[in-house]
């Protein structure tokens, strides 16, 4: 049975892509079974294996279904089924990524010579680093099964055996190397490599633990907001610029007025001089004015009063 909250989207997209050749209803059912395998494989391998069997019955020609069944069979100790399914997976996909499991399955069946043969036939250049490391560990185990302890150590002396760097496979590789050294009686070196294994495991745990802390950023699409203090500073700066510009204009106007006032003052002095000059009476003007005043008073030129008739 599959819980209702398990959906096809819970399966990895690459695996879902392989199921597209199936009918829609079958595709959904297989995807949910494979999602259950991923959910249960660490805590309940037996139940995960039952889901893998259900998926394989419905999608026998799909590589990911046979691969999943092989892995669950290996985890439950059914090495014969695991080996058969791994061979089928390799034939369907053309990939050798699970050679280490094939070697270990041969060992589980009590056939270490066949395990070594399987590993030696592999083209390791087609494997990624992690696959090569696990194959080396499996081959070392096969050597130990045959009592070839020194050769088992040689199988593990690969470039990835570097205690200065830690990867997902480093603790297992360092631990396997330490175990072989211990079998060889090199206890001091074995303890050193066990410490390397523990240190690598701790470093990986710290790294993976930090990845559990999700950091969420909220992004709001809006116009850029100006801080109140920045806005006040900008306004004060603008007002200062306006005041400076007004002061400049006032100075220019005052200078212009001063120039005009100086020019007007010069003209006023000229006009005043002209007016003064024009206002200064001549002797003839004075005499005429006196004569006019005497005539109005009735006094003649000789100083005698005029007749009443004449004054009238």
pLDDT of residue 231: 52
Q: Assess if residue 12 is contained within a domain.
A: yes
116 and 73 within one domain? no
Number of domains in the chain: 3
- Whether 197 and 175 have beta carbons less than 8 Å apart is answered as yes
Range of the domain at 288: 282-312
Q: Which residues contact 8 (CB under 8 A, 6 or more apart)?
A: 16, 27, 28, 31, 32, 35
Q: Assess if residue 52 is contained within a domain.
A: yes
Helix and strand totals (H; E) in the chain: 14, 0
Structure confidence at residue 122 as a pLDDT band (50, 70, 90): confident
Taking only the tens place, the pLDDT of each residue in 18-71 is 999 999 999 999 999 999 999 999 999 999 999 999 999 999 999 999 999 999
Query: Would you state the structure tokens that stand for residue 101, as one six-digit string?
Result: 């499991």
pLDDT of residue 9: 92
305 bridge partner residues: 299
The residue among 200 and 232 whose pLDDT is bigger is: 200
75 and 107 within one domain? no
Three-state SS letters, 257-282: HHHHHHHHHHHHHHHHHHHHHHHCCC
Helix/strand/coil for 99 = helix
CATH number of the domain that 119 lies in? 1.25.40.10
Length of the chain: 312
Q: How far is CA 20 from CA 8, 90, 123, 281, in A?
A: 12, 20, 31, 127
120 and 79 within one domain? no
Q: Is the confidence at residue 242, as pLDDT, over 60?
A: no
Taking only the tens place, the pLDDT of each residue in 66-120 is 999 999 999 999 999 999 999 999 999 998 889 999 999 999 999 999 999 999 9
Q: How far is CA 307 from CA 248, 290, 295, 298, 302, in A?
A: 78, 20, 12, 8, 14
CATH number of the domain that 55 lies in? 1.25.40
Q: Assess if residue 220 is contained within a domain.
A: no
Cβ atoms within 10 Å of 28's Cβ, excluding its own: 15
Helix/strand/coil for 305 = strand
205 and 100 within one domain? yes
Q: Assess if residue 107 is contained within a domain.
A: yes
pLDDT of residue 126: 87
Q: Is the confidence at residue 305, as pLDDT, over 90?
A: no
Q: Assess if residue 70 is contained within a domain.
A: yes
- Whether 138 and 107 have beta carbons less than 8 Å apart is answered as yes
Q: Assess if residue 199 is contained within a domain.
A: yes
197 and 120 within one domain? yes
pLDDT of residue 247: 57
Predicted TM-score of the model (pTM): 0.65
Place of tokens 């005029």: 306
Q: Assess if residue 56 is contained within a domain.
A: yes
pLDDT of residue 267: 47
pLDDT of residue 1: 87
Q: Assess if residue 222 is contained within a domain.
A: no
Q: Is the confidence at residue 303, as pLDDT, over 60?
A: no
Kind plus residue range of the DSSP H or E element containing 101: helix 99-108
Helix/strand/coil for 166 = coil
158 and 55 within one domain? no
101 and 23 within one domain? no
69 and 110 within one domain? no
Query: 134-140: long-range contacts at Cβ-Cβ below 8 A with a sequence spacing of 24 or more?
Result: 134/100, 134/169, 134/172, 135/99, 135/100, 135/103, 136/173, 137/100, 137/172, 137/173, 137/176, 138/99, 138/100, 138/101, 138/103, 138/104, 138/107, 139/103, 139/115, 140/176, 140/180
pLDDT of residue 134: 96
Query: Would you state the structure tokens that stand for residue 173, as one six-digit string?
Result: 């590789």
What is the residue-averaged pLDDT of the chain? Answer: 80
Taking only the tens place, the pLDDT of each residue in 166-217 is 899 999 999 999 999 999 999 999 999 999 999 999 988 887 765 555 454 4
Taking only the tens place, the pLDDT of each residue in 286-301 is 666 656 655 655 555 4
Query: Would you state the structure tokens that stand for residue 8, as one six-digit string?
Result: 């096809």
Domain boundary residue among 49, 72, 94? 94
Q: Is the confidence at residue 245, as pLDDT, over 60?
A: no
Domain boundary residue among 94, 123, 146? 94
CA–CA gap between residue 264 and residue 269 (Å, rounded): 9
């Amino acid at each position: 049975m599959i819980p209702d909250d398990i959906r096809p989207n819970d399966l990895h997209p690459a695996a879902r892509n392989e199921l597209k050749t199936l009918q829609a209803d079958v595709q959904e059912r297989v995807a949910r079974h494979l999602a259950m395998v991923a959910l249960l494989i660490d805590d309940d391998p037996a139940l995960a294996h039952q889901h893998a069997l259900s998926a394989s019955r419905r999608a026998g020609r799909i590589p990911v279904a046979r691969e999943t069944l092989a892995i669950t069979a290996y985890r439950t100790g059914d090495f014969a089924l695991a080996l058969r399914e791994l061979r089928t997976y390799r034939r369907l996909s053309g990939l050798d990524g699970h050679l280490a499991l094939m070697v270990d399955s041969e060992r589980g069946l009590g056939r270490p010579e066949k395990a070594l043969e399987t590993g030696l036939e592999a083209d390791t250049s087609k494997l990624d680093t992690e696959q090569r490391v696990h194959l080396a560990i499996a081959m070392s185990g096969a050597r130990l099964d045959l009592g070839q302890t020194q050769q088992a150590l040689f199988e593990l002396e690969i470039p990835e055996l570097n205690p200065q760097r830690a990867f997902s496979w480093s603790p297992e590789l360092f631990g396997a190397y330490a175990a072989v050294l211990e079998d060889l009686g090199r206890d001091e070196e074995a303890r050193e490599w066990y410490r390397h294994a523990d240190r690598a495991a701790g470093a990986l745990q710290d790294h993976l633990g930090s990845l559990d802390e999700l950091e969420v950023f909220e992004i709001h699409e809006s116009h850029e907001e100006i801080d109140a203090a920045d806005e006040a500073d900008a306004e004060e700066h603008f007002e200062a610029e306006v005041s400076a510009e007004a002061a400049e204009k006032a100075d220019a106007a005052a200078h212009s007025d001063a120039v005009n006032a100086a020019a007007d003052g010069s003209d006023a002095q000229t006009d005043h001089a002209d007016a003064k000059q024009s206002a200064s009476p001549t002797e003839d003007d004075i005499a005429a004015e006196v004569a006019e005043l005497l005539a109005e008073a009735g006094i003649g030129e000789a100083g005698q009063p005029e007749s009443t008739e004449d004054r009238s």
